[in-house]
Amino acid sequence: MKLAVAIAPVIALFFADSAFALAARKPTPTDATPTVTSKLQPRQASCPSTTKFQFFGVNESGAEFGQNVIPGAEGTDYTWPSPSSIDYFVDAGFNTFRVPFLMERLSPPASGLAGSFDSAYLQSLKNTVSYITGKGAYAVIDPHNYMRYNGQIITSTSDFQTWWTNLASQFVSDSRVVFDVQNEPYGIDAGDVFDLNQAAIEGIRASGAADQLILVEGTSWTGAWTWTTSGNSDVFGSIQDPSNNTAIEMHQYLDSDGSGTSGTCVSSTIGAERLAAATTWLQENGLKGFLGEMGAGSNDACISAVQGALCSMQQSGVWVGFTWWAAGPWWGDYFQSIEPPDGAAIARILPEALVPFL
């Protein structure tokens, strides 16, 4: 759950409905990232496991910025990942990039979810995806809307299914595209979120995308630490995919409220502790897990906590993927940024907490 990220200078951005409000902030645009190709040297983390993640990478954030400016202007209100950033991580051994974007920019509210896509925004998304997959990596396309559209909770499974059929059809021939159904639903009954995810799976498979991985997310910001208490564990064990290639995506931050807004972790062991119940649930239900977001501060306690989380995941036999939050060209000095060449978390998080698990 990312209730807010503090970056100076900032612009306040808001999603809102009658009962809930979610604030996010984006930094001021910075200059384009230069090409960086130096090889990272891992600093060994102790984990007695030889099992590696099938998918390991980072969120390339930017196209979801400016959420209160629709459609907004590229380069002013939002941006797309830098090719040089993708090159840097591929060179380091990362193979997965989660690409957040806004549904309202892709599907203008005047046309609705079942209407036609904005051709320019769609082309930019496709260009980003094709660059990633052309490097031999996986591109996770992520509608970063919290199960909201045009300021309202999405309730129509039919419209949502149609939207996903239309979007998946754009990527049906690219086996390295992963479909992330919806980022961090919140304030919605777990059963309703389940129904929307199930409709999306059916829509994606109906498009002809028969084999690509699908990621489904639960309510309560799809938190791993609340998975068994939020209602998610009661319903998501029944998820159905005719291709049997769906994983449960969860997110987990390590600060006191699990929001990811503080660089102070609860303890050096909180990572594995907050994943433990969700891991057991995945094992008991014979399901795969994907940790789509984790972030923490660049200090000894947090690095140990991230290492512990990743080690426990590799040892579990059920977690297939992980993407760090975040990279992206506009993060500035955001404490969790590993955007090259000088993101605030590059110096320690990257070599100490992430690279050892490649």
In the chain, what are the domain boundaries? 10-357
Q: Which residue in the list 184, 217, 339, 352 is annotated as catalytic?
A: 184
Q: Please indicate, yes or no, whether the overall pTM of this predicted structure exceeds 0.75.
A: yes
Residues 133, 177: Cα–Cα separation, whole Å: 7
- CB distance 84 to 52 below 8 Å: no
Neighbours of 266 (CB within 10 A): 18
- CB distance 163 to 118 below 8 Å: no
Six token digits for residue 117: 């896509």
Q: Which residue in the list 64, 249, 293, 352 is annotated as catalytic?
A: 293
pLDDT band at 115 (very low <50, low <70, confident <90, very high): very high
Q: What is the mean pLDDT of residues 243-272?
A: 98
Nearest to 182 by CA among 150, 211, 212, 222: 222
- CB distance 278 to 23 below 8 Å: no
Residues 103, 166: Cα–Cα separation, whole Å: 13
The CATH class of the 10-357 domain is alpha beta
Number of H helices, E strands in the chain: 8, 12
Return the pLDDT at 39.
53
Annotated catalytic residue 339: no
What pLDDT digit, counting tens, does each position of 71-95 carry?
999 999 999 999 999 999 999 999 9
What pLDDT digit, counting tens, does each position of 309-330 carry?
999 999 999 999 999 999 999 9
Q: Are strands 148-149 and 21-27 parallel, antiparallel or unpaired?
A: unpaired
Residues 26, 20: Cα–Cα separation, whole Å: 20
Annotated catalytic residue 217: no
Q: What is the mean pLDDT of residues 142-148?
A: 98
